[in-house]
Amino acid sequence: MKNDNEKKDILWIVIIGLTAISIIAVDLFFSGEYSLALAKSLFMALAMLAFILIKFNDKPLLKKSLVCFGVFLALALVSWWFPYFNNKLADSNGKVIVKALESYKNEKGEYPALLEDLVPKYIDSLPRAKYTFLWKDFYWVDNNLVYVNDAPVNLMKYDFNSGRWTWTGSETYSRLLLMIKK
| pLDDT of res. 103 | 96
Residue 66 and residue 25 in contact, taking contact as beta carbons nearer than 8 Å: no
Range from 2-11, 98-107, 120-129 carrying the lowest mean pLDDT: 2-11
Identify the band that residue 149 occupies on the pLDDT scale cut at 50, 70 and 90.
confident
| pLDDT of res. 143 | 85
Reference 139, options 124, 123, 125, 128; nearest CA is 128
Measure the CA–CA gap between 149 and 146, rounded to whole angstroms.
Answer: 9
| pLDDT of res. 12 | 79
When pLDDT is averaged across residues 162-179 and rounded to a whole number, the result is: 73
Name the packing angle between helices 2-25 and 59-108 (round to 10°): 10
When pLDDT is averaged across residues 134-163 and rounded to a whole number, the result is: 83
Residue 151 and residue 135 in contact, taking contact as beta carbons nearer than 8 Å: yes
Percent of the chain residues topping a pLDDT of 90: 24
* pLDDT at position 123 over 70: yes
Q: What type of residue is 65?
A: S
For the stretch 15-72, pLDDT in tens is: 888 888 888 888 878 777 788 888 888 888 888 888 888 877 877 777 777 888 888 8
